[in-house]
Amino acid sequence: MDQATMTQDSGAPVKTGRYRWAIIALLFLATTVNYIDRTMLGLLAPDLGRELGWDESDYGNIVLAFQAAYALGFLVMGGLIDRFGPKVGYAIAIAVWTLGHAAHGFASSIAGFMAARMVLGAGEAGHFPAVVRASSEWFPQNERSYAIGWVNSATTFGVILAAPTIALFMTVFGLGWRETFIVSSLFGVTLLALWWWLYSNPRESGRVSAGELAWIEHDPPEPVEQLGWGRIARHRSTWAYASAKFLTDPVWFLMLFWLPKYFDSTFGVDLKVILLPMIIMYLLSDVGSIGGGWLSSRLMQGGRSANFARKVTMLVSGCCVLPLLFVTSLDNMWAAVALIGLALAGHQSFSCNLLSLPPDMFPRRAVGSVVGLGGFAGGVGGMIMAASVGAILDVTAGNYTVIFAACTVVYFLAVVVIHLLTPRLARVEAV
């Protein structure tokens, strides 16, 4: 009996190769570069503000330009990746965001930085539609959330590496901030070359054994046809995913944009200088991302349905966020680090399972568009969050209690919405 026909007791092929994990390593690298490029302006903003005379509203407009382009970019990039496939679609996305990143080095005015951030945001919006689409090509359903969990963990890896990257170029090599943006864009150029060289679908790669290909393709076959927005938007499953992204993505944006401010105002700690608290919190979030993906995949490999595995894991993830309720009552910074890190772990665990839903429910040719629509909804939620958090902090004199309390509710609300709209996570056969 050859590798392609060997089966386990369940009837599924035996996993006889591991090249698919090289694809995950490539996507992990891509995610790291994506988040280094995304984070660098925030770390350099204080110096740029002093040099260029920005006030808070100027920087707010620059951030808003990124978020608006990022949200709209999901709609465009998701459809592009479905139409041309992840190899071509993601290559376009990498090229666009790398161009936008380099353009920061040539900007001098507020309008110039807004334009650069808009190009960056539009390109970076293609990242997660490509990740999910590529994962659906390379992994069967019962292994997919674990794979996505590893890729999702690289978001925090990129955030952690952004500050050392700036220090390397500006302190060690003596570059100015303009040169730092331009030279660091070579990360994106290198990534683009690696992606074009290494990525293809499993059947065309020439690097996959017969046994591994049988494992990758052992899910039931699905129809192959071009799918339009009108047909995708009519399904409740689409809006189950989009609604959950709208509710939960703002929590991640809150942590990225306001966590340094919270530690500065509450404990007098600058997370750009004292990195250990940030490293601990984001490493905990990586544990959540990988652990949440593992738990869901493990439940499915043990015979549980995708419906049970995804929803139970998301409920457990939501419970991990509940300790945020107690953070504002703490006087000890390290206790706050531990509780916020646990909440971040819960978010990332929830996120990797949420990202697994589109390929669970939709044919592969619709996955990028569905992820794009969800990303757009999450981006809109992030813009609403940005305006709301600022208003709440003004009214409460900088008190985060109400904000953190709201964060603990949205995950359970998202699971309820998903369950009401798609009680069984039923497969959408006729899109």
Domain extents in the chain: 16-421
User: pLDDT band at residue 222, thresholds of 50, 70 and 90?
Assistant: low
Distance CA 336, CA 7 (A): 49
- 387-426 confidence digits (pLDDT tens): 787 778 778 888 899 999 999 999 999 999 999 999 999 8
What tokens appear for 267 in the block? 């404990």
- 299-320 confidence digits (pLDDT tens): 999 999 999 999 999 999 999 9
Distance CA 5, CA 252 (A): 44
Angle at 283 between CA 280 and CA 285, to 5 degrees: 110
pLDDT tops 80 at residue 46: no
Angle at 317 between CA 315 and CA 319, to 5 degrees: 75
User: pLDDT band at residue 135, thresholds of 50, 70 and 90?
Assistant: very high
Give residue for tokens 């959950």.
Answer: 244
Question: For 13, phi and psi rounded to 5 degrees?
Answer: -60, 150
Angle at 214 between CA 213 and CA 218, to 5 degrees: 120
- 75-121 confidence digits (pLDDT tens): 899 889 988 999 999 999 999 999 999 999 999 999 999 999 999 99
pTM for this entry:
0.83
Per CATH, is 16-421 categorized as 3.55.10.10?
A: no
Summarize the confidence of residues 149-162 as an average pLDDT: 89
pLDDT tops 90 at residue 183: yes
